[in-house]
Structure 1
Amino acid sequence: METFADRAIPYYLRQTEPDHLPPGVSALNPYRQPEVQSIVNQFYTRFFNDNNRRVYILGINPGRFGAGVSGISFTTPQNLQRYCGIENNLPPTPELSSRFIYQIVEAFGGAEAFYGRFFLTSLYPLALVKNGKNYNFYDDKATTAALWPDIISSVRQQLTFGCDRNIAVCLGRKNEAFFQKLNQQHGFFSRIVTLDHPRYILQYRSRDVDAYVDKYVTTLGECIAL
């Protein structure tokens, strides 16, 4: 019987860069690299080699220093090794979101316990950049329009891995408007709850990080209790 890992791994390894982005916007595709392909196989085989249904936690699109390098959502190469036990030769990267996310992972008892209940992912699977900086699919209307069909296809494919469709968690208040629109159009989830994005928390609300950790843990706990 196919597992969550069996369905997820090919999805990532088949990713290709879009050829219809507006001028100046480009996508990073780490899945072309043999080491990232190996990481993806190790990560999903280790943590998703079952048929458990998971609550999906969806961000916008990856950052260039997280999944844009490692291929694993919200995970820097160093956190991949430290918290997931997957050694790699990728260069360490600075990524605020990953730092916060792994506080949440640890609060749930570590990577095995966390990933046994949750799937961290994004509406669009590849990191976007413009002028060498992180870019979001909603940062301009032309990019949103260009990627919207791909986003629909991306979410639809990810649902087949092993999704609890009763509820999904949206990361980011601005992301929420687009996720809700997508869900209204296609009925992917019965309900969406939104949490502030990890980057926003550490960049603008770092004094309140403990309260945000508590909020995440409480909200995610309620999601898996449904």
Structure 2
Amino acid sequence: MRTFAARIIAFNKSLTYKGTLPEGIRIMNPFQESPLALAASSEFYQKYYHDSQPRHLILGINPGRFGSGQTGISFTDPKRLVANCHIDFPGPMTHEPSSAYIYEMIAAFGGEEQFYQQFYIHSICPLGFTKIGENGKETNYNYYDSPALLKSVYPFIVENIRKQIEMGFETEVCFCFGTGKNEAFFRKVNEAHQFFKKIVALEHPRYIMQYKSKEKALYIDKYLRAFSEV
């Protein structure tokens, strides 16, 4: 049997969006656009997932420009990849607040080795989106930010949740990062397709860092309690 690392790397390499997108929205595929992201993520998965031990899925929203858009690893920006995972990254040292929170939580959990032996983080939509604003600046865009985009990517989302489950992950419970629109959409999808027996939603790291940073320790404790119950 192939290791989880081999299955995850193959999945990432196969990610291709062939549908239409609303005007002004661009798909972001680090595995096809960036040799650095493909190399860094492959090294990461070989380091932490070189086995066949089942893990629990954690699904975020979709990749962002400064985290997995750079490294190909969910909630892992270049700074954390180098400092915490000890994997070289010759590209820009971008910073993503969500990544800072996740790696602080992972440290409280017991460290990278222990956390990644039990959990695998990806996204409900495994590829990200960007939009060019009126000022010409490119910004992150979520799959649910417009009805047109959500309608376009729905089959892609369902297909890739199924593909990730088929890698051999646990289906008793799935953790969802995001207690608003992401959770609401995910619960509807799960009701329709019966992917998981239970969904446990946790506040999104970006929300915590942006609006609840003074209560960060309380949210880390909440995460740890939720993860300890599986």
TM-score normalized by the length of structure 1? 0.95
Post-superposition offset of 1:34: 2.0
Post-superposition offset of 1:40: 2.1
Q: Is the 8 A contact 2:58 2:174 kept in 1?
A: yes
1:158 is matched with which residue? 164
| 1:52-89 alpha-carbon deviations (Å, 9 max, x no partner) | 11111100101111111110000001111111111111
2:27 is matched with which residue? 27
Q: Which runs of 4+ in 1 moved over 4 A?
A: none
Post-superposition offset of 1:220: 1.0
1:202 and 2:203 correspond = no
Q: Is the 8 A contact 1:13 1:31 kept in 2?
A: yes
| 1:110-152 alpha-carbon deviations (Å, 9 max, x no partner) | 1111100000110111121112111110011000000000000
**CA distance in 2 between partners of 1:18 and 1:206 (Å):** 38
- In structure 2, the residue corresponding to 1:163 is in which secondary structure? coil
- In structure 2, the residue corresponding to 1:72 is in which secondary structure? coil
Write the mapping of 1:30-179 to structure 2, written as runs, cut at 5 A: 30-32=30-32, 33-131=34-132, 132-173=138-179, 174-179=181-186
- In structure 2, the residue corresponding to 1:119 is in which secondary structure? strand
- In structure 2, the residue corresponding to 1:165 is in which secondary structure? coil
**CA distance in 2 between partners of 1:29 and 1:165 (Å):** 26
Unaligned ranges ≥5, structure 2: 133-137
Determine what percentage of the aligned residue pairs are the same residue. Answer: 43
**CA distance in 1 between partners of 2:19 and 2:213 (Å):** 38
* Alignment-mate amino acid for residue 156 of structure 1: R
CA RMSD of aligned residues (A): 1.1
Unaligned ranges ≥5, structure 1: none
Post-superposition offset of 1:19: 4.6
Q: Is the 8 A contact 1:5 1:161 kept in 2?
A: no
**CA distance in 2 between partners of 1:64 and 1:15 (Å):** 17
1:9 is matched with which residue? 9
Post-superposition offset of 1:15: 2.1
**CA distance in 2 between partners of 1:19 and 1:150 (Å):** 8
Count of residues in Structure 1 that have an aligned counterpart in Structure 2: 223
**CA distance in 1 between partners of 2:50 and 2:168 (Å):** 11
* Alignment-mate amino acid for residue 43 of structure 2: Q
Q: Is the 8 A contact 1:30 1:36 kept in 2?
A: yes
**CA distance in 2 between partners of 1:19 and 1:155 (Å):** 17
**CA distance in 2 between partners of 1:99 and 1:5 (Å):** 24
Post-superposition offset of 1:105: 1.1
* Alignment-mate amino acid for residue 144 of structure 2: Y
Q: Is the 8 A contact 1:18 1:27 kept in 2?
A: no
1:189 and 2:196 correspond = yes
**CA distance in 1 between partners of 2:223 and 2:129 (Å):** 26
| 1:84-105 alpha-carbon deviations (Å, 9 max, x no partner) | 1111112111211101010111
